[in-house]
A and B are shown apart, each in its own frame.
Chain A
Amino acid sequence: MRSTRPMAIVEPMIVPRIAPHVRMRYDAARGQHVLLSPERIVVVNETATAVLELCDGTRSVEEIVTELRARYDEVSEDDVRHLLDELKAKHCVEVTDG
């Protein structure tokens, strides 16, 4: 059953972190990063891994994008926000107002 609430948009000033019941690790057997929670395993690609590694509860979305831009050529803020929105809807990521 999906909620009918409008999807919360992750704003640039908001501070995301991996939810307390979720842990990210490298799955050596399958060569991929995963987010682990009791009921779910979410496979995250390389880009998402780079974003999540910066979601430590201190950096805002804007700061995360800035850091990513220092490392990678093309970083779209929209993509980062979209990814965080998706992970938030899966209760893998939580946000607080910056």
Chain B
Amino acid sequence: MIKDKHINALRDIVGEDNIYSDKAHLIAYSYDATRTKYEPDAVVFPRDEDDISDILKYCNRYKIIITPRGAGSGFTGGALPAHGGIILAMEKHMNKILEIDTQNMVAVVQPAVINMDLQKEAQRHGLFYPPDPASEEYSTLGGNVSENAGGMRAAKYGITKDFVMALRAVRTNGDIIRAGKKTIKDVAGYNTAGILIASEGTLAIISEITLKLIPMPKYKKTYMGIFSDVDSAMNAVFKSLSSGANPVAMEFLDKLVIEALIDKLGVDLPKDAGAVLVGDVDGNVSDEIDFQLKTLEESFKENGATEFRVAKDDDEAKKLWYARKNASQSITIYGNKKLNEDISVPRSMLPEALRNIYKIGEKYGFKVPCFGHAGDGNIHVNVMIDISQLEEGEKAIEEIFQMVVDIGGTLSGEHGIGTSKAPFMGIAFNNEEMNLFRDIKRAFDPNNILNPYKMGL
């Protein structure tokens, strides 16, 4: 528990209406999308960068733990106040789009702007912000940067880090730093922004973000390929990419997911389908779209696709996407609890990774439906268990992690490490690497007050 005197001092900084320690606030800021709960000692809403600086300075002096929080949609506990202290909640004041600069094609935003609000504002200017985590309608850009969030469009456009041009951030000593520039080329100094991206609020508080925008492509079409097994689907992926297709998204569903979609939601897919690939292609001239679709169709058919569908209009596109968007919901038929992980492997290893995952599932007697981003090797692995089998389930997960690292992959493609995956950091990184992380953490935060002990640090 932090002392009343500290709460009073923080109140002097942010004002009466921007700090709370009543039970209701402690409850409401105790959780995120992991559904684990730890109550903080107080919730503070900074009004601007200067407030953040003053708060950090004060907390640093008295070693008060700070957990920054965006929308609390994180899947790995990054925003959980696991060791008490204060929640620094950005949602109340730091939520403005400051500038859409159409000449340099960049947006300058405060950290709590919702991803979709930026996408919409950019679109109003004919511009496009591609990173689209499935939580795009509610997660914040500060959270996206801190977790390096990615989405389906990653196959063509990349992930959050590919769009961060510059950051402003506040260090624990109160210093306000600028990392990066609006310029396309920038080689002066260390790439500090690069270190802050995906740092999960452990190094500094991000107070402003400059993001790259691109022109909005004029045309978009949705396609779907149906295959008898995952291997032929993946061969089709390799073949089409090497033949020059550059789809915006290339999502796969495995056999178990397809069966669940048919059983639970009556989705129109053949019962004997072993894998589905679905995605969009986009471009600025219609010839380009035709070329993309033709390349995909040829590569798919060459590799045994039994069907290739293209949506004629928006309605049909929605129907094709429905299967992928409801994958997560449909698989609940396999167990009342889902342990889901978002591992990432080199694209070429995807079929082998899936085979190994199924083997591990069989060994423990669990169904493990998988879906995800075939274009970039990011797989959503869902170990479906009964709530009573939690311990066994976790063992299976650990085995899956070990296997993934063995074949050159990593623990998380999107969701980060936080508290949930912290115990597995030792599998992915050796002692020397972990020590470097700790040194970096110490350089930014010598008193270990910013989101301490997260990420296994």
A, B in one complex: no
Q: Which residues of A contact B (CB under 8 A)?
A: none
Q: Which residues of B contact A (CB under 8 A)?
A: none
